[in-house]
Structures are given as C-alpha cells and as structure tokens.
Amino acid sequence: MTTTERVIETENLTKRYGRFTAVSRLNLRIFRGEIFGFLGPNGA
C-alpha cells in the first residue's frame, strides 16, 4: 500500500539551547505507516 499522507513535516527546523545549536535546518517528512527513529552519537 502506497500513501502520501504526511503525518510529520518540518522545514528548516533549528533548535538551540543558549548558544549551543542542537539541530540546524532539519528538513523532514514522515508519511503514515513509516517507522522512523533518531540515533545520537552515544546511541541514545
């Protein structure tokens, strides 16, 4: 089954904690039925 329904979408998302930039210009599209995860440098 193919679907084009986006359930999460970001464009140029940036997240900062004070002067520290944790995420810079993230573009992301997640569609219904996809499984997605983030892994950081320490595996978390």
Q: Is residue 40 part of a domain?
A: no
Q: Is residue 7 part of a domain?
A: yes
Rounded Cα–Cα distance for residues 15 and 39 (Å):
17
Q: Is residue 16 part of a domain?
A: yes
Number of domains in the chain: 1
User: For 1-44, how does the pLDDT look when each residue is reduced to its tens digit (9 = 90+)?
Assistant: 566 899 999 999 999 999 999 999 999 999 999 998 888 888 87
Q: Is residue 6 part of a domain?
A: yes
The answer to whether 31 and 4 have CB atoms below 8 angstroms apart is: yes
The answer to whether 12 and 26 have CB atoms below 8 angstroms apart is: yes
* Domain assignment of residue 6, given as a range: 1-35
Q: Is residue 43 part of a domain?
A: no
The answer to whether 29 and 7 have CB atoms below 8 angstroms apart is: no
The answer to whether 10 and 27 have CB atoms below 8 angstroms apart is: yes
β-bridge pairing 20-31 and 6-17: antiparallel
pTM: 0.66
